[in-house]
Amino acid sequence: MLFRSAVPVIRLWQLTKTYGDGEAAVHALRGVSLSVYEGDYVAIMGASGSGKSTLMSIIGCLDVQTSGRYLLDGVDVELLNENELSEIRNRKIGFVFQSFNLLPGSTALQNVELPLTYAGVRSGERRRRAAAALDAVGLARRYGHRPAMMSGGERQRVAVARAIAVNPSLMLADEPTGNLDSVATDDVLAIFARLNTEGRTIVLITHENEVAQHAKRVVRVKDGVIVDDTRQSPIDGPPPLHTLTKYAPAGAHR
């Protein structure tokens, strides 16, 4: 059994975010309070413009709130300097975006090695770990392929491999299946289910109910506030629908 900390991984208190000021001010978040504990798998849903990506940027330490507090693993993120923040972004958090954000001129292996380079991992070990991450997402035969030679689903799996290469405890994904067909979506969800079963906390933004039903908890955002928070399955235990996926929790490979 996994050890569960009593301290939430993510703790938000009355978080607000305002872009611009005066007449032009946009109140993207208007007081969001949320706690996410280790091992949870949270889907954040809401209409376009409701503040989901803003919330994700703050959780991912890519942006700071206008007011309120954010504790990440009990640490007040506002008190950290730029070096400490980039250390956290690089080692503790794995990011996956809708548009993959891969380097087009680099191979799959090189793309996955990048965060390991930033983390100071030496080349032999780097290559070994990047290859293992690609193997774990079913891309063992794609090491030398560049993004242009891969399907959208394969590109997103490279992006997931890059996110897990440093072995982060928290995965953040903003519409990771937004550009994928249903088969590729199932692949990515299967990988997320396995990562969660292995103990990683996942926060995923989606507007698709079919995607959200794979999460343990669904948080709905509207006009910058949380309007609903529903648990679909317990934190301690596998995510819902995991038995339908081809990446079995035992870690079986295709």
* Contact residues for ligand ADP, defined by CB under 6 A: 19-20, 26, 28, 46, 48-54
Q: In angstroms, give the least distance from the CB of 158 to ligand ADP.
A: 24
- Residue 28 interacts, among ligand ADP, Mg ion, none and using kind-specific CB cut-offs from 5 to 8 Å, with ligand ADP
- Residue owning tokens 């955002």: 221
Q: In angstroms, give the least distance from the CB of 48 to Mg ion.
A: 7
**Which of 12/116 has CB closer to Mg ion?**
12
Q: In angstroms, give the least distance from the CB of 54 to ligand ADP.
A: 3
**Which of 53/185 has CB closer to Mg ion?**
53
Q: In angstroms, give the least distance from the CB of 175 to Mg ion.
A: 7
Pairing verdict, β 225-231 and 217-222: antiparallel
- Residue 227 interacts, among ligand ADP, Mg ion, none and using kind-specific CB cut-offs from 5 to 8 Å, with none
- Nearest 5°: the CA angle 57, 65, 56 is 20
**d(Cα 248, Cα 125) in Å, to the nearest integer?**
27
Rule CB under 5 A: choose which of 17, 29, 37, 53 binds Mg ion: 53
Q: In angstroms, give the least distance from the CB of 100 to ligand ADP.
A: 17
Are 2 and 179 within 8 A, CB to CB? no
60 Cβ contact partners less than 8 Å away, ≥ 6 residues apart: 89, 93, 95, 172
Q: Is 54 in the site for Mg ion (CB under 5 A)?
A: no
- Residue owning tokens 């109910």: 209
Question: 170 — phi, psi (to 5°)?
Answer: -125, 125
The alpha-helical segments, DSSP class H, found in 7-151 are: 52-59, 82-91, 108-118, 123-136
- Nearest 5°: the CA angle 164, 38, 99 is 40
Q: In angstroms, give the least distance from the CB of 51 to ligand ADP.
A: 4
**Which of 52/194 has CB closer to Mg ion?**
52
**d(Cα 236, Cα 1) in Å, to the nearest integer?**
9
- Residue 107 interacts, among ligand ADP, Mg ion, none and using kind-specific CB cut-offs from 5 to 8 Å, with none
- Residue 22 interacts, among Mg ion, ligand ADP, none and using kind-specific CB cut-offs from 5 to 8 Å, with none
**Which of 28/34 has CB closer to ligand ADP?**
28
Are 40 and 236 within 8 A, CB to CB? no
**Which of 9/28 has CB closer to ligand ADP?**
28
Query: What tokens were used for 141?
Result: 């035969």
Q: Which residues bind Mg ion (CB under 5 A)?
A: 52-53
